[in-house]
């Protein structure tokens, strides 16, 4: 079981006052406050999680096989039905 010990008397008293006003436990009051604070923070991805998610996406959505043809001017001209020249 996890625990959080608030060593600062002023902060502990604040948690007590807020929990009484909410009619909840100190744990719930602290949880609500931290959830509200977290939601107000700008989003910053966890880099390791982001990389893992991208790796999984690339594994599940592989690129198509190479055609072997060059992607040169002639290729794009044919793609756009443009005459050479």
Is residue 83 pLDDT above 80, yes or no? Answer: no
Is residue 84 pLDDT above 70, yes or no? Answer: no
Average pLDDT over residues 8-35: 96
Vertex 36: Cα angle to 33 and 37 (nearest 5) = 85
Provide the residue ranges of all domains of the chain, joining segments of one domain with +. Answer: 9-60
pLDDT in tens, 29-77: 999 999 999 999 998 889 999 999 999 999 999 999 988 888 889 889 9
Radius of gyration of the chain (CA): 28
Rounded Cα gap, residues 52 and 8, in angstroms? 39
pLDDT band at 85 (very low <50, low <70, confident <90, very high): low
Average pLDDT over residues 7-29: 96
């Amino acid at each position: 079981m996890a625990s959080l010990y608030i060593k600062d008397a002023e902060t502990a008293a604040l948690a007590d006052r807020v929990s009484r006003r909410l009619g909840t436990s100190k744990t719930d009051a602290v949880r609500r406050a931290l959830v509200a604070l977290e939601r107000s923070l700008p989003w910053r991805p966890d880099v390791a999680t982001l990389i893992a998610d991208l790796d999984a996406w690339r594994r599940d959505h592989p690129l198509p096989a190479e055609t072997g043809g060059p992607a040169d001017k002639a290729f794009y001209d044919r793609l756009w039905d443009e005459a050479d020249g």
